[in-house]
Structures are given as C-alpha cells and as structure tokens.
C-alpha cells in the first residue's frame, strides 16, 4: 500500500469505525459483528504502524489505549465545576420549588434526572474533535485525563452534525455494574483483593497511568450539561436531546432516566419511582437531580457561592430493612483472614433477596453488642455486600446470648491469632488449612504468577475437592487420565490443562517465587529477591542479614521468608518444583560489554537490521536500561523509520540525543 492509498483507507476505516462504535455503544443497535469490527480496527492499527504520521489524536485506535501518563497535568476549569445542594424529603423539595417560584416570573418547568454515582468530568470539543477531558478536582482546577477518557466507547472522539466550534460538555463517568462484577471476578481468580464499590473504582481507574487498563475495564459515561454553546435551545431538556445529534449518549426518556414536568407531584413521582426501582438499574445512582428547565429562568435564579439555585439533588436514604439473625458463621479467606458473616431470615433489599450480611470483624460484633436471634437493621451501602448497622433492642429476648468470637479456625481447628494493630483474626496454619491451601494454588496459577493456560479457579477447586491436588507441586504430577475423569471435562480442555502446566515450567524464576505466595513477597519483592540472590536455594538458605541486604527487603519480609522455609512442608514443595524442572534460578543473559552502563534508552519505530526486541536485548546485554517512555531522565532515543512525530518532538524538546540504528551500532563499537 502506498501513502496515497493509506490516506484514503485510513479515512474510510475511521469513518466506518466511528459509525459502528456509535451504533454499538450509544444506540445499542449494532449492524456488524464484534469480529468484523475488530478486523477493521486491526487493519487501521496495521496501517498506522506502517504510516505513523497518519495517526491522529482522534483515531478510533485510541479506544484501545496504550498511552502512558506519568503525571496528570492540572487544568483550570473555564467554567467552575460546582456542586449541588442536597435535600432528603418532599418538604425540602417543596421549599426549593416555592423559593424558585418567588424569584421567577411565570410557570416553571422541571427536569428530573438520575444522580449517577461516579466521577464528574468536563470534556472540551474544538471543531468537532475531543480536545481535553478534565476531572472535577476541587471545582476550580482538575486533572487532565484525556487519554483515559478517550478509551470510553460511549464518548465520541469526533462529532457529527451541526455542533458549535468550541464548547464543553459535562457528565459523570461510572462503572457499569456488570463490568464491575466481571473485574472483581477476575481479581478473585488472580488472588488480587476485590474492589469495594463501583464509584471509588471508577475514580481510581480514571487516574491510572496506563490507558490500556482503563480501556479494558469498560467505564461508561452519561452527559448532563453543556457550556459555551450559546442558547442553542431554550431549555436544558431540549439541549440534552439536541446533543444526541452530535453523537453523545444521552439518558433515555423511554426508560425514564430523564423526564420533564411542571409540578412538585411530577417531581415526587419520578423520585418515588427510582427510590423503589433503583436496584434494577445497570449502574448505581445515589439520588435524583432536579433542574429548572428554561435557561432564562436559570439565569434569573443564579447561584449561591457553591451551587446553582436552579438545581437541587434529592438524596436517597440508604435502604434499610429489619431481619432476624439466625446464626453467625466464620469464613476463612485465602490469606487465612477470618470474616464473620451473619445468616439472616431472607429479606428483600434493593431489588435482591438478602440472606447474609458481613459483620467484618470481632470489633464490629462487639460494637453492635450483637445477641443471637436479635432483630437487626440491614443496609446496602456503597459496598456490594449488605451490612448490619444496628439492632432493634425492643425485640431482644431477655435470655438471648451474646455473639462472641471463635478461638479456633473453623476449617482446621488451629488456634487463631490477632496481630497487634490489626482488626482481623487470622488462622496461622498456612500450609495445612484447606481454604488457604486451595488459595495458594489459585494464587500460583494466577495471571501475574505462573499464568497457566487452561487452568482457572473453578478447575483448581474441582481438582482440590476431588483430592487430585493439595499443593502447587501436585499440579506437575497431574495426568491426562486423571483430568479427563473429572466432571464436565472435555478432551480438549484436559489437553489444554496438561499442556498449560507443562509450558509453565518455562516461566522465569521470579514468577515462580511470587507464585509461592510467601507472605509479603509480592511481584516487585520477588523480582528484587531473584535479582539479589539469584536462586531459590540461596534464598532458602539466606541468613536474616543476607536477606535484608537485598535492595528493598526489610525486616518484615526477611522474617516471613525465613518462617516459610523453616516449615518442612514448604521445603518439600520447593524441592519437588526443582525436580519437575521449573526455573528456580535466574537465567543470566550473557553480558556482552558494559559500554552502555548507566544509560537509559527508549526504542521506538521500525528498524532495518534488527527488530525492536533485538535492539532492547542488545541494550541490556551492554549494560544499558530500557525505559517505556521519554522523560528528562532518558539518555537516548533510538529512533526507527516510523517513529511517532509527537515522541520525536518530545525528545527534541527535552534535548535528548536521538540515535539512528547505525549510530547505535557505532556507539556499541566505541
Ligand atoms: S448537574 C452545578 N446532573 O453530582 C452542578 N450532576 O453534587 C451541576 N451528578 O459534581 C451538576 N448526576 O458529578 C448534575 N444528572 C446529574 C448528575 C450530577 C450526578 C454529580 C456531578 C456533580 C455532583 C453534584
């Protein structure tokens, strides 16, 4: 393909991908399959790789992410981002309406909207292109999170129709509940701690440095206001309908996500409807927003120091129900943490039947002064799992016994411990306690550890319960016949599992070390230990002083490592892993020279004699360091033929030396 053909094809693909993205994510009415969409996107990615100067800031490939932002720039809002006054009752809404009526001539119209529970965002469009997206921050200035916002599929990168030249649109970025559950499920499988609630997770996600991660998590956005458009339409409701023509996702009237009314009764009807049905929404809301519709009325009403007088939020009370405490059970997590859980008389709450509620820890039980058969108040807060917030003392039976805490692990009867300063009790029997044993295997096969293809948490569960494995070393003795004998296991899956386990023997040492799940030995610590001590044997035999001499290893980690290897059962597992041929030492790459000692490189573009990975390897083999992105600290940029113009510009601006492939070879030979 020549350049001219590429230009035409990029334009065709961009337009087509934008259209199909809109049909899928905004209109929920796709015309082509996901496969066909991906094929088009792949084609565009390939062309962009070949002709990097054809990549624009608004290319549909930006949806996939990949841009890294080390530090988000601060941006001052052109229009301050205010908050809303809150109200909690019909009386307060009536007061607000009456005050508004006094200040305004004529009849008022009100727009009722959902109050999405997420993170506010202001997005600027110039000449129909998404220019900048900024978080609320303190209302006066926020953070520039443009790269991350561009990955949200329902936010258009390029507008259609008769949009104004320069305007800002504001809305709320949120985590759809389905995607939030999927993310937590994935984290459970990987042995990562689960996220507590969708709002905080949306906020954290928006500020992640790697936009690829943001893209994968599947955030969404609803828009609720435009600024700088002039009087496009006489009122807010009509403007919201109008921005749909430019490609924005707006709240559906049909689903009653937005409604216009002229009376307090109309407003209250909307509020009551959603107070009852909010549990059925595919996202979380924390109230309703009521806005005076006509812009000239909004102007008359004006603002207080913090919020507009023309709008008010109605906040839902956390839904609270009463139920009977039947029993308390104690769950043992993969790390040995004990969580008390209350079994309740089943009760309806927020659209679901609740049978269990978390009691968190011993302190919480004590604080509630919980007794058996108590009548308890249950709420669904920001967290997914409901919690007990109080006891109805009028219903307490005089002979009721206090709920205490257990001394022994319910799974293995080991004496529980509670470390100083911690609220949680733990079962210390890491090696012998069944849920902890199973948890250790799940951790070992997880994505960040051995990442074993064909093996997931469910299969581990079945293998463990079936007595086929009881620790990570057992995985390497599994046979096809054993696996195929399991329920619902097809030939192909059994083969994949066996092949996956075999392939994992090639994983580098630090992944195996991390996979063992030694307390406090996370991914980074495992890398440092591998780099410092080189082999499992050395680590297992290292004295306390030798361990703390390793970069970033402190007393706590050193003690935990020593404790791990003191246990005969752990040593046995490690010995078996060695025998099965796993990498239990660092495979040293041959060091060619140290001419690049202390120098950091960014390698970018396409080269003639070597591939990018080959060049990176050469840098390391000669003592240099590869870094991901250009910064003041970068010494050299090794620039290939089709390096992106913005990177080149950045390197030039920072005065970083730019090397061609030939320059690099010459440098090595110096
Ligand atoms: S209108 C002047 N409409 O609630 C403020 N805000 O407490 C105009 N929010 O920071 C905001 N849903 O992030 C508006 N439908 C909605 C909203 C909404 C959620 C958030 C917004 C704002 C906060 C105000």
In this prediction, residue 191 has a pLDDT band, given cuts at 50, 70 and 90, of: low
Report which protein residue has its CA nearest ligand 1's atom 3. Answer: 224
Report which protein residue has its CA nearest ligand 1's atom 22. Answer: 83
* Nearest atom, ligand 1, residue 114 CA: 15
Opening angle at CA 220, ends 60 and 212, nearest 5 = 50
* Nearest atom, ligand 1, residue 117 CA: 19
Q: Taking residues 71-89, what's their average pLDDT? A: 91
Whether the CB-CB separation of 258 and 251 falls below 8 Å is answered with yes
* Residue 657 pLDDT > 90: yes
Whether the CB-CB separation of 273 and 285 falls below 8 Å is answered with no
Backbone angles phi, psi at 295, to 5 degrees: -60, -35
* Nearest atom, ligand 1, residue 307 CA: 2
* CATH superfamily, domain at 600-669: BRCT domain (3.40.50.10190)
Q: In angstroms, rounded to a whole number, what is the distance separating the alpha carbons of residues 651 and 660? A: 13
212: three-class secondary structure by DSSP: helix
Report which protein residue has its CA nearest ligand 1's atom 17. Answer: 115
314: which 2 tokens?
A: 């109605």
Residue with tokens 């494995």: 469
At 381 the pLDDT is: 64
At 441 the pLDDT is: 95
Q: Do the domains 509-579 and 434-506 match in fold? A: yes
- Measured in Å, residue 83 CA sits from the centre of ligand 1 at 7
In this prediction, residue 384 has a pLDDT band, given cuts at 50, 70 and 90, of: low
What is 434-506's CATH number, 3.30.230.20, 1.10.150.20, 3.40.190.10, 3.40.50.2300? 1.10.150.20
Of 112, 119, 172, which is best to mutate to test ligand 1, by the most ligand atoms within 8 angstroms of its C-beta? Answer: 172
Of 77, 81, 83, 84, which is best to mutate to test ligand 1, by the most ligand atoms within 8 angstroms of its C-beta? Answer: 84
* Residue 313 pLDDT > 80: yes
At 382 the pLDDT is: 53
Whether the CB-CB separation of 148 and 306 falls below 8 Å is answered with no
549: Cα separation from own chain's centroid: 35
Report which protein residue has its CA nearest ligand 1's atom 14. Answer: 224
Backbone angles phi, psi at 357, to 5 degrees: -140, 145
Give the lowest-confidence range in 117-126, 155-164, 398-407, 659-668. 659-668
| CA trace torsion 184, 185, 186, 188 (10° rounding) | 80
- Measured in Å, residue 86 CA sits from the centre of ligand 1 at 11
Of residues 381 and 219, more confidently modeled? 219
Task: State the SS3 of 609-634.
Answer: CCCHHHHHHHHHHCCCEECCCCCCCC
Q: In angstroms, rounded to a whole number, what is the distance separating the alpha carbons of residues 437 and 575? A: 18
- Strand partners for 603: 638
Residue with tokens 């041929």: 581
Report which protein residue has its CA nearest ligand 1's atom 12. Answer: 115
115 is catalytic: yes
Of residues 385 and 172, more confidently modeled? 172
Per cent of the chain over pLDDT 70 is 99
> Would you kindly state where each structural domain of the chain is located, as residue ranges?
3-64, 74-315, 320-395, 434-506, 509-579, 600-669
**Percentages of the chain per state (helix, strand, coil), in multiples of 5:** 40, 20, 40
Q: In angstroms, rounded to a whole number, what is the distance separating the alpha carbons of residues 248 and 169? A: 10
Report which protein residue has its CA nearest ligand 1's atom 16. Answer: 115
Task: List, for residues 255-267, the tens digit of each pLDDT value.
Answer: 999 999 999 999 9
* Residue 374 pLDDT > 90: yes
- Measured in Å, residue 224 CA sits from the centre of ligand 1 at 8
What is 320-395's CATH number, 3.40.190.10, 3.90.1580.10, 2.40.50.140, 2.10.70.10? 2.40.50.140
- Measured in Å, residue 115 CA sits from the centre of ligand 1 at 6
* Nearest atom, ligand 1, residue 119 CA: 13
Whether the CB-CB separation of 63 and 150 falls below 8 Å is answered with yes
Opening angle at CA 662, ends 656 and 666, nearest 5 = 85
155: which 2 tokens?
A: 């936010």
Task: List, for residues 255-307, the tens digit of each pLDDT value.
Answer: 999 999 999 999 999 999 998 888 889 999 989 999 999 999 999 999 988 89
Q: Taking residues 474-497, what's their average pLDDT? A: 92
Q: Find the helix packing angle between 457-465 and 434-445, rounded to 10°.
A: 140
Identify the residues whose C-beta falls under 6 Å from ligand 1.
82-84, 113, 115-116, 120, 136, 172, 224-225, 289, 307-308, 311, 313
From 470, 426, 145, 100, select the one nearest 291 (Cα to Cα). Answer: 100
Of 86, 87, 120, 311, which is best to mutate to test ligand 1, by the most ligand atoms within 8 angstroms of its C-beta? Answer: 120
Of 259, 289, 302, which is best to mutate to test ligand 1, by the most ligand atoms within 8 angstroms of its C-beta? Answer: 289
| CA trace torsion 377, 379, 385, 387 (10° rounding) | -40
For residue 118, give Cα distances in angstroms to 27, 121, 206, 585.
Answer: 22, 10, 11, 46
- Measured in Å, residue 212 CA sits from the centre of ligand 1 at 28
Fold (topology level) of 74-315:
D-amino Acid Aminotransferase; Chain A, domain 1 (3.30.470)
Q: In angstroms, rounded to a whole number, what is the distance separating the alpha carbons of residues 284 and 197? A: 10
* Residue 670 pLDDT > 80: no
348: which 2 tokens?
A: 């309806």
* Residue 428 pLDDT > 90: yes
- Measured in Å, residue 108 CA sits from the centre of ligand 1 at 21
* Residue 589 pLDDT > 80: no
Opening angle at CA 114, ends 347 and 295, nearest 5 = 160
Whether the CB-CB separation of 204 and 213 falls below 8 Å is answered with no
Catalytic, out of 4, 101, 115, 387 = 115
* Nearest atom, ligand 1, residue 120 CA: 13
At 409 the pLDDT is: 97
In this prediction, residue 350 has a pLDDT band, given cuts at 50, 70 and 90, of: low
- Measured in Å, residue 163 CA sits from the centre of ligand 1 at 23
Report which protein residue has its CA nearest ligand 1's atom 24. Answer: 83
Q: In angstroms, rounded to a whole number, what is the distance separating the alpha carbons of residues 435 and 334? A: 6
Mean pLDDT value across the chain: 91
Q: How many CA atoms, within 13 angstroms, populate the side-chain half-sphere of residue 236?
A: 31
137: which 2 tokens?
A: 């921050």
Residue with tokens 């581990």: 460
Of 82, 87, 111, 116, which is best to mutate to test ligand 1, by the most ligand atoms within 8 angstroms of its C-beta? Answer: 116
CB-CB neighbours of 598 under 10 Å: 9
Q: Taking residues 613-638, what's their average pLDDT? A: 88
* Nearest atom, ligand 1, residue 136 CA: 10
At 588 the pLDDT is: 75
Going by the DSSP 8-state scheme, the letter that residue 585 receives in this structure is B
* Nearest atom, ligand 1, residue 82 CA: 2
Q: How many CA atoms, within 13 angstroms, populate the side-chain half-sphere of residue 446?
A: 26
Whether the CB-CB separation of 603 and 638 falls below 8 Å is answered with yes
From 130, 138, 133, select the one nearest 121 (Cα to Cα). Answer: 133
The DSSP bridge pattern shows strands 311-315 and 375-379 to be unpaired
Phi/psi zone of residue 667: left (φ > 0), alpha (ψ -120 to 50 degrees), beta?
A: alpha
From 543, 512, 545, select the one nearest 530 (Cα to Cα). Answer: 512
Q: What are the residue ranges of helices labelled H in 417-522?
A: 434-445, 457-465, 480-484, 491-503, 509-515
Report which protein residue has its CA nearest ligand 1's atom 2. Answer: 82
In CATH, the number for domain 3-64 is 1.10.287.610
Whether the CB-CB separation of 113 and 171 falls below 8 Å is answered with no
Residue with tokens 């050395």: 538
Report which protein residue has its CA nearest ligand 1's atom 21. Answer: 120
Task: List, for residues 81-111, the tens digit of each pLDDT value.
Answer: 999 999 989 999 999 999 999 999 888 999 9
Non-local (6+) Cβ contacts of 486 within 8 A are 459, 462, 463, 466, 468
At 351 the pLDDT is: 64
Whether the CB-CB separation of 250 and 244 falls below 8 Å is answered with yes
In CATH, the number for domain 509-579 is 1.10.150.20
């Amino acid at each position: 393909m020549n350049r001219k053909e590429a230009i035409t094809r990029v334009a065709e693909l961009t337009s087509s991908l934008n259209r199909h993205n809109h049909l899928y994510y905004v209109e929920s009415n796709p015309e082509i399959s996901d496969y066909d969409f991906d094929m088009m996107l792949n084609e565009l990615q390939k062309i962009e790789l070949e002709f990097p100067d054809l990549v624009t800031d608004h290319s549909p490939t930006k949806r996939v992410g990949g841009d890294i932002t080390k530090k988000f720039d601060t941006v001052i809002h052109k229009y301050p981002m205010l908050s809303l006054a809150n109200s909690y009752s019909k009386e307060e809404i009536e007061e607000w309406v009456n005050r508004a009526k006094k200040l305004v001539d004529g009849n008022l119209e009100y727009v009722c909207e959902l109050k999405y529970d997420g993170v506010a965002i202001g997005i600027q469009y110039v000449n129909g292109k998404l220019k900048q997206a900024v978080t609320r921050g303190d209302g006066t200035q926020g953070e520039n999170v443009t790269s991350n916002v561009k990955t949200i599929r329902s936010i258009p990168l390029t507008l259609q129709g008769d949009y104004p030249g320069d305007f800002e649109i504001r809305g709320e970025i949120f985590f759809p509940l389905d995607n939030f559950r999927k993310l937590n499920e994935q984290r459970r499988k990987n042995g990562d701690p689960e996220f507590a609630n969708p709002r905080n997770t949306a906020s954290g996600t928006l500020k992640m440095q790697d936009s690829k991660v943001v893209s994968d998590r599947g955030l969404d956005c609803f828009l609720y206001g435009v600024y700088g458009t002039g009087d496009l339409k006489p009122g807010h409701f009509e403007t919201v309908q109008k921005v749909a023509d430019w490609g924005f996702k707006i709240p559906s009237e049909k689903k009653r996500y937005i409604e216009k009314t002229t009376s307090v009764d109309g407003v209250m009807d909307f509020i009551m409807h959603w107070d009852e049905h909010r549990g059925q929404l595919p996202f979380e809301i924390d109230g309703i927003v009521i806005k005076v519709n006509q812009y000239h009325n909004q102007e008359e009403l004006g603002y207080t120091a913090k919020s507009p007088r023309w709008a008010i939020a109605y906040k839902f009370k956390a839904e609270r129900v009463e139920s009977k405490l039947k029993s308390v059970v104690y769950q043992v997590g993969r790390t040995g943490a004990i969580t008390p859980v209350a079994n309740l008389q089943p009760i309806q709450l927020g659209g679901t039947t609740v049978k269990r509620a978390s009691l968190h820890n011993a302190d919480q039980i004590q604080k509630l002064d919980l007794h058996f058969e108590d009548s308890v108040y249950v709420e669904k807060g920001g967290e997914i799992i409901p919690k007990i917030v109080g006891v109805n003392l009028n219903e307490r039976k005089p002979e009721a016994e206090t709920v205490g805490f257990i001394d022994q692990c319910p799974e293995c009867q080991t004496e529980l411990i509670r470390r100083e300063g911690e609220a949680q009790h733990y079962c210390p029997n890491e090696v012998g306690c069944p849920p902890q044993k199973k948890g250790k295997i799940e951790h070992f096969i997880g994505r960040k550890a051995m990442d074993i293809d064909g093996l997931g948490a469910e299969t581990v569960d079945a293998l463990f319960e079936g007595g086929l494995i009881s620790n990570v070393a057992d995985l390497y003795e599994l046979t096809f016949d054993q696996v195929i004998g399991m329920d619902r296991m097809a030939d192909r899956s059994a083969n994949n599992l066996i092949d996956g386990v075999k392939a994992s023997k090639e994983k580098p040492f630090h992944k195996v070390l991390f996979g063992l799940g030694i307390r406090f030995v996370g991914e980074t610590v495992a890398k440092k230990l591998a780099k410092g001590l080189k082999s499992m044997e050395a680590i297992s035999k290292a004295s306390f002083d030798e361990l703390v001499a390793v970069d970033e290893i402190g007393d706590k980690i050193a003690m935990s490592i020593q404790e791990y290897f003191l246990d005969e059962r752990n040593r046995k597992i490690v010995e078996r892993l060695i025998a099965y041929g796993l990498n239990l030492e660092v495979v040293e790459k041959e060091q060619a020279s140290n001419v690049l000692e202390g120098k950091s490189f960014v390698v970018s573009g396409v080269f003639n004699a070597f591939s990018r990975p080959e060049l990176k390897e050469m840098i390391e083999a000669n003592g240099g360091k590869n870094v991901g992105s250009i910064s003041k600290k970068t010494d050299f940029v090794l620039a290939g033929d089709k390096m992106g113009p913005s990177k080149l510009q950045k390197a030039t601006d920072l005065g970083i030396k730019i090397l061609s492939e030939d320059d690099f070879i010459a440098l090595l030979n110096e």
